[in-house]
A = this chain, B = another copy of it.
Amino acid sequence: MATKKRKKTGEAGGPESGGPGSGGVRELLRVPGGERVDLRRFDPRSTPGGPAGKAAALEAVAPMAQRLASLQERLYAASTTGDRRRVLLVLQGMDTSGKGGTVKHVIGAFNPSGCRVKAFKAPTPEEREHPFLWRVAKELPRPGEIGIFDRSHYEDVLIARVRELVPRSRLGRRYAAINRFEKELADDGVTVVKVFLHISYEEQRERLLGRLDDPDKHWKFNRGDIEERAMWPEYRHAYELALERCSSDAAPWYVVPADRKWYRNWAVAQLLLEHLEALAPRYPEGDFDVDECRARLLAT
């Protein structure tokens, strides 16, 4: 289905994005590790593998939400008998790329009691006294949970690079540290789904202007956003390095074109769905005699 739909929209996610017969958006959007990444070759308005348009996407989302919630319940149920598996969705992207909107619309499909959402801001003084992965390790999902990072340890090779917050040599070692860390997570049963929400420079301008035009959105805006925007090429380069150095088999990166919000939401939901379906969590069997328990209950 993904391949067919992709032909329909006539657009590709990027030069490396899957091929006929490949498995879902996981293959279409995945960044192959170790190869040079040029984000200018990925069209932020494209809709690889997606529905034909906004109406179709909105229609597709309700049944997807049900399947996500059902798989989440199974994953959680399995954890009660020792299954350590869990999912960690890492959301990264330029300002206004829709990290918050994705949490609201996609993660909103799940039962909140099985979700652990963490938005990482500028590190606190205490956090700065520890190695950069320290604060991240504390917020990992427990077995059976869906964890969501709105920003993450990648900030430590993104803004840290662009703003030269650490010496270049230390920065260079961080990519390897991230890969080791994520490999350990995978070995411990964490399915790490790293999503780069890819918007265009023009779309960011429109979204920032939209925030200025609506007084109810002024709280989301601050003057620093304009200064960060001025560093767009530097951020793009930092993202390209993170994508090419840290898209491992254990924890691949996915580039989700995000100029169209309906595609972004659909694609992240679909990515989670494909990963959860691959995990195929099952309800555990009871360790009790059903008939005996029923008889005892009926006697009360």
Contact status of A229 and B283, CB under 8 A, knowing A112-B115, A113-B100: no
Residue from B77, B112, B205, B215 within 8 A of A283 (CB atoms)? B215
Chain B residue numbers with a CB within 8 Å of A205 are: 297-298, 300
Interface residues in A178-232 (C-beta closer than 8 Å to B): 205, 208-209, 212, 215-216, 218-223, 226, 229-230
Instruction: Enumerate the 5 nearest inter-chain pairs by beta-carbon distance, A residue then B residue, closest first.
Output: A218-B286, A77-B219, A104-B111, A103-B113, A107-B112
Chain A interface residues (CB < 8 Å from chain B): 77, 80-81, 100, 103-104, 107-108, 110-113, 115, 117, 119, 148, 150, 205, 208-209, 212, 215-216, 218-223, 226, 229-230, 283-286, 288, 290, 293-294, 296-298, 300
Contact status of A226 and B150, CB under 8 A, knowing A77-B219, A100-B113, A286-B221: no
Are A80 and B300 interface neighbours, CB within 8 A?
no
Of all chain B residues, which has the CB nearest A104?
A: B111
Chain B residue numbers with a CB within 8 Å of A288 are: 218, 221-223
Q: Identify 19 new A-B residue pairs, CB closer than 8 A, beyond the known A100-B113, A113-B119, A219-B286.
A: A77-B219, A112-B112, A113-B148, A115-B117, A209-B294, A209-B297, A209-B298, A212-B293, A212-B297, A215-B286, A218-B285, A219-B284, A221-B286, A222-B288, A223-B293, A226-B296, A226-B297, A229-B297, A229-B300
Are B113 and A112 interface neighbours, CB within 8 A?
no
Contact status of A219 and B80, CB under 8 A, knowing A113-B119, A117-B113, A293-B212: yes
CB of A293 to closest CB in B, whole Å:
6
Are B219 and A283 interface neighbours, CB within 8 A?
yes
Chain B residue numbers with a CB within 8 Å of A283 are: 215-216, 218-219
Of all chain B residues, which has the CB nearest A290?
A: B212
